[in-house]
Amino acid sequence: MIEARGLTKRYGSKTAVDDLTFTVRPGVVTGFLGPNGAGKSTTMRMAIGLDRPTKGAINIGGKAYRDFPAPLTEVGVLLEAKAVHTGRSAYKHLLAVAQTQGIPRRRVDEVLALVGLTDVAGKRVGGFSLGMGQRLGIASAMLGDPGVLILDEPVNGLDPEGIRWIRTLLQALAAEGRTIFVSSHLMSEMALTATHLIVVGRGRLIANTTVEEFIRQASGDLVHVRSPQAARLSETLARDGVTVTTTGLDTLDVNGLTAQQVGEAAFAAGIPVFELTPRQVSLEDAFMDITKDAVEYTHGQTPAPRVPSATSTGANA
């Protein structure tokens, strides 16, 4: 379990992390989301004692990281970018790390096998591809067989096979009762991997909820209907608190009624309905919507999207 209480980090006049309070529970994969500069990496660094908080604290299993006699056997960490010396071989790197805690050599071989780097264990890390470097980082995080895993952008640079491998690994580790705390920008992947979400923006907590709830709140009650008598259906449904948008020749987007209510209203009026789908926004849309005020570093204007086609259905995740 990871607990942050009033966690704050200021660099001079800039507040990178602002009074964060949250709990990351064991047994589930918790996603840590936020725009660039939101304070995710800083929070993770403070969790393992690399940076000292200005105020507040972040504890693991009730203790400060430095109070663990063998921290790598309790908390495994993968931070953004390779934290490895490029001139060293993968094997020697892991060995040097393992030796600090008294972890045996055979464990180094085990984690190399786990991530599939056994064949290149003797090669200089400087020659590794981005994906291989990530695998090495994951091997390093798993060295001590920790109960808590903190991973910053673990799928960065991995191919689809690697991404799926990570997802399966993290979910299996969570199922074993470990605490898994993952930050990522890959929304589609996060939606598949995580069950719980902690969203931050400009250093502040924006949301602390399940993935389902997060998407549901952003989607609202949006129902997509296709009917040959769309115009008549639109009139039937119109009432206080309900917005009906005509999205095509025979399709409507209804906001404010559940799919059940729309179906029953159509049935009562004798209007045939060919498609009736509760429409979920993607995690990406939900995230963009909720963090749009908190984006620190925006990109330039993107060209306006074309008029949406009538075939948008279901979640994009």
Partner 1 sequence: MGFPTAADFKPTAKVTLPRVLRSEWTKLTSLRSTVWTLLAAIVVTIGFGLIVCAATVADFHRNGNASDLNDPVGTSLVGGYFSQIAIGVLGVLLITGEYSTGMIRTSLGAVPHRLPVLFGKAIVFGVTSYALSLGAILVAFFSGQAILHQVHGGVAIGDPSVVRALLGGAFFVMTIGLLGLALGTLIRSTGGSIAALLGLIFVVPIVTSFLPGRWGDIQKFIPNNAGGALVTIDDRGNDLLSPLGGLVVLLVWLAVGLGAAAFTLTRRDA
Q: Which residues bind partner 1 (CB under 8 A)?
A: 45, 48-52, 65-66, 68-73, 77, 79, 81-89, 92-93, 95-97, 99-104, 106-107, 110-111, 113-114, 140, 144-145, 168-169, 172-173
What minimum distance in Å lies between the beta carbon of 5 and partner 1?
19
What's the CA gap between 246 and 248, in Å, rounded?
6
What minimum distance in Å lies between the beta carbon of 250 and partner 1?
47
CB nearer to partner 1: give 113 or 269. 113
3-state secondary structure the chain: CEEEEEEEEEECCEEEEEEEEEEECCCCEEEEECCCCCCHHHHHHHHCCCCCCCEEEEEECCECHHHCCCHHHCEEEECCCCCCCCCCEHHHHHHHHHHHHCCCHHHHHHHHHHHCCHHHCCCEHHHCCHHHHHHHHHHHHHCCCCCEEEEECCCCCCCHHHHHHHHHHHHHHHHCCCEEEEECCCHHHHHHHCCEEEEEECCEEEEEEEHHHHHHHHHCCEEEEECCCHHHHHHHHCCCCCEEEECCCCEEEEECCCHHHHHHHHHHCCCCCCEEEECCCCHHHHHHHHHCCCCCCCCCCCCCCCCCCCCCCCCCC
CB nearer to partner 1: give 57 or 83. 83
CB nearer to partner 1: give 46 or 265. 46
Contact between 54 and 9 under an 8 Å Cβ cutoff? The reply is: yes
CB nearer to partner 1: give 105 or 239. 105
CB nearer to partner 1: give 19 or 51. 51
Q: Residue 206's closest CA among 11, 19, 9, 15?
A: 19
CB nearer to partner 1: give 39 or 71. 71
What minimum distance in Å lies between the beta carbon of 162 and partner 1?
14
CB nearer to partner 1: give 114 or 276. 114
What minimum distance in Å lies between the beta carbon of 101 and partner 1?
5
What minimum distance in Å lies between the beta carbon of 271 and partner 1?
51
What minimum distance in Å lies between the beta carbon of 96 and partner 1?
4
What minimum distance in Å lies between the beta carbon of 34 and partner 1?
20
User: Which residue is it, tokens 């800039």?
Assistant: 14
Q: Residue 211's closest CA among 317, 295, 59?
A: 317
What minimum distance in Å lies between the beta carbon of 70 and partner 1?
4
CB nearer to partner 1: give 13 or 302. 13
